[in-house]
Amino acid sequence: DTAVSQTPKYLVTQMGNDKSIKCEQNLGHDTMYWYKQDSKKFLKIMFSYNNKELIINETVPNRFSPKSPDKAHLNLHINSLELGDSAVYFCASSPGLFEGDEQYFGPGTRLTVT
């Protein structure tokens, strides 16, 4: 059983389109995250939800909107895609907000905007 899954794995789309990435975790965790990994492999936190409540909302364009229908799911919707949005997007989860909680990552979604 996959602990943290993301769909799709690859996403190729044109500038200006709107797309969504879905994430599900079956670990029973309370906290979920979205990260962006750029071409230099640098990781940047985008959002974090705890029990469906937004707790981290880093400085990302408001074209990015996360949605958490329940604590097992955290989806990412992106409007008006731009070339600079091309990256790998990772979903992750952790048991909670305890400082020592490790995060479990999904396999990533490689987004290519042409």
Partner 1 sequence: AQSVAQPEDQVNVAEGNPLTVKCTYSVSGNPYLFWYVQYPNRGLQFLLKYITGDNLVKGSYGFEAEFNKSQTSFHLKKPSALVSDSALYFCAVRGLMDSNYQLIWGAGTKLIIKP
- Residues at the interface with partner 1 (CB under 8 A): 4, 40-43, 45, 48, 55-56, 58, 90, 92, 97, 99-100, 102-108
Closest CA to 28 of 112, 83, 96, 106: 96
Residue closer to partner 1, measured from CB, 50 or 75: 50
Shortest distance (Å) from residue 56 CB to partner 1? 5
Question: Which among 101, 82, 113, 111 has a CA at the least distance from the CA of 33?
Answer: 101
Q: Is the Cβ of residue 8 or residue 16 nearer to partner 1 in the bound state?
A: 8
Burial class of residue 2, CB neighbours in 10 A (0-12, 13-18, 19+): exposed
In whole angstroms, the minimum distance from the beta carbon of 98 to partner 1 comes to 9
